[in-house]
Amino acid sequence: MNPAQTGLKFFVLSGAILIVSGVAQALARPRGARESGIQRYLNGATVRAMVFVTVGVLAIMVGFGAIPIGLR
């Protein structure tokens, strides 16, 4: 088995896990009774969930070869 391909599979798997955990974190976040729209999106948990999803999408793109990282 080619080690470079194994590394790329790791990116796909870890990216999928990051996306799932980011979405679950955004859906399970406790909300205040009188939260405004800005407070809802600038909450620390929501920002962290967005970062997880963004990094997950980038990792999947690396795994599929859309973003080259130097592995041949």
**d(C-alpha 30, C-alpha 13), whole Å:** 28
Q: How many CB atoms lie within 10 A of CB 59?
A: 21
Reading the chain (72 residues) residue by residue, the pLDDT tens digits are 666 667 788 999 999 999 999 999 988 887 777 878 787 778 888 899 999 999 999 999 999 989 888 755
**d(C-alpha 45, C-alpha 25), whole Å:** 7
Domain boundaries defined on the chain: 15-28+36-72
Q: How many CB atoms lie within 10 A of CB 71?
A: 13
Q: Is the pTM of this model over 0.85?
A: no
pLDDT of residue 17: 97
Mean pLDDT over all residues of the chain?
86
Q: What is the pLDDT of residues 55-65, one digit of tens each?
A: 999 999 999 98
